[in-house]
Amino acid sequence: MLKIAFWDNPINHLRLQPLTFTKPSCELRVGILTIKEKWEKHFNLNSVGYFTLDYLAEKYKSPEPADDLLIISGNILPSADLILALTKLTKGEGISIEGEAIAFRADTPLALPNIRFKAIDLMLQRINYTWDLYLQNGDQIRSDFILLTQNRISQKITDPYTMCYGNEIFLEPGATVKAAILNAENGPIYIGKNGMIGEGSIIRGPFALNEQSELSMGAKIRGDVTIGPYSKAGGEISTSVIQGYSSKGHDGFLGHSVIGEWCNLGAGTNNSNLKINYSSVKMWRYDLQAFDNTGLQFCGLIMGDHSKCAISTTFNTGTSIGVGANIFGPGLPRTIIPSFAWGGFNGFVTHHLDKMFESADLVMKRRSRVLDRIEKNILIHVFEQTNDERIWQS
């Protein structure tokens, strides 16, 4: 019986840091679902494991021995044409596009040198860079919305003070909406199980609020926005993805940005997503260890897991923040902030692991999760891996 698994091309995984410091690429959320969840829905199969970097393998385990695995590169998004091509593969065959291995059928990725790859000409949807997550988010919300809601009936909006425009509005069981404006004329609006839309919220689709998440009173959602599960969001948000288990519950602007898991943006936090001279934005590339021109006019903030900022923090255009950083104080901090940095415009010291673990444990317990030994070992590895980036230590 065919089973599916995911593998991380090390170069692709590196390009997607800081978001992939703590997880395989397929665990990134774009649209309503993670990349892994999209494939599982399309194939109607649960994935059986990951072939990823060694330090992640204890949490994201490799599959048990299997006779027949379809192994898919973790940054590839499903499409009808690609799925059709994959269903035609036999064991020992794979497909490549523009010289890159996309997927293959085998019992282990170690069989890669023996795979007969067929080059196909196909418009491929994939996440090459962190900013691709927000660039493709609107289209992915549209496709995930169809995938999740076809042949299903939405819960009814019974609140008489909520105004709805457009037909593509879907509420999962337990979702509530109070005195809000839902405009789905430009894209669907999806409210996950037990999601809550606060009074006075103004939402323009495409928009997704995932399970157990909350949109604060008076929030303004400009479209192409995803709020991952168990999160709080408020203020003004445009073209952004909050991966999950994070909070931006207060006023402030977030635009053209991706926020990892277990993050917190203090009240009044704002980011710039457009340079004052309208020129294209440079972002830090972890694979190059240098800034690179994105070619994008709109590019905001990328924040890795477990990072936080204090009240009224302001971020410049094209800022990247690693894992476990704490940013505070007046002024604009630098546009590349290493993992486990503690400080801001006036300089940084190291956010040591024991202190970081204390706060992370408290944060995770609030959502009935535990910072266990496996999670700690991943963070220890990231701390050691990024030691040279904390230049103030030398």
DSSP assignment of 329-346: SSSPPPSEE-TTEEEETT
| Crossing angle between the packed helical segments 353-365 and 373-385, to the nearest 10 degrees | 140
Q: What CATH number is given to the structural domain containing 340?
A: 2.160.10.10
The answer to whether 227 touches 211, Cβ cutoff 8 Å, is: no
**Same domain, yes or no, for 386 and 345?**
yes
In a domain, 248, yes or no: yes
**Strand, coil or helix: 35:** helix
Residue 385: Cβ within 10 Å count = 14
Residue 55 is given by DSSP the state G
Same structural domain, 252 and 352: yes
| Contact call for residues 271 and 318 (beta carbons, < 8 A) | no
| Of the residues 119, 152, 181, the one at which a domain ends | 119
Buried b (16+ CB within 10 A) or exposed e, 14-47: bbbbbbbbbbbbbbbbbbbbbbbbbbbebbeeeb
Q: Is residue 377 part of a domain?
A: yes
Q: Which long-range contacts (CB under 8 A, 24 or more apart) does 98-103 make?
A: 100/9, 100/73, 101/9, 101/73, 102/72, 102/73, 102/76, 103/70, 103/71, 103/72, 103/73, 103/76
3-state secondary structure of 112: helix
Q: Are residues 78 and 10 in the same domain?
A: yes
Asked if residue 103 and residue 171 are part of one domain, the reply reads: no
Residue with tokens 């860079």: 129
Q: Is residue 126 part of a domain?
A: no
Can you tell me whether residue 71 is helix, strand or coil? strand
Flag whether 169 is in a domain. yes
Residue 149: other Cβ atoms inside 10 A: 17
Find the CATH number of the domain harbouring 41.
Answer: 3.90.550
pLDDT given for residue 114 in this prediction: 82
* Burial (CB count within 10 angstroms: exposed 0-12, middle 13-18, buried 19+), residue 274: middle
Rounded to whole angstroms, the Cα distance separating 392 from 37 reads 40
Instruction: Give the separation between CA 265 and CA 313, rounded to whole angstroms.
Output: 8
Segments in the chain below pLDDT 70: 109-112, 394
Residue 127 included in any domain? no
The pTM is what?
0.96
Q: Which of 119, 149, 166 is the last residue of a domain?
A: 119
| 268-301 per-position pLDDT tens digit | 999 999 999 999 999 999 999 999 999 999 999 9
Residues 115 and 14 in one domain: yes
Q: Looking at the structure, do residues 139 and 100 belong to the same domain, yes or no?
A: no
Same domain, 297 and 351: yes
CA distance 238 to 258: 11
Do 79 and 154 sit in the same domain of this protein?
Answer: no
Q: Domain range holding 10?
A: 3-119
Q: Please tell me the distance from the alpha carbon of residue 165 to that of residue 296, in angstroms, as a whole number.
A: 31
Are residue 318 and residue 225 in the same domain, yes or no? yes
In a domain, 124, yes or no: no
Q: How does strand 163-165 pair with strand 181-183?
A: parallel
Q: Which of 119, 143, 178 is the last residue of a domain?
A: 119
Number of domains the chain is built from: 2
CA-wise closest residue to 336 among 304, 305, 306: 304
- Whether 114 and 154 map to the same domain: the answer is no
pLDDT value, residue 110: 66
Asked whether residue 303 is assigned to any structural domain, the reply reads: yes
Residue carrying the six token digits 């040591």: 352
Clarify whether residues 367 and 342 are in a common domain. yes
Phi, psi of 209 (to 5 degrees): -115, 115
Which residue in this structure is represented by tokens 């021995």? 65
164 and 103 within one domain: no
* Residue 32 is assigned to a structural domain of this protein: yes
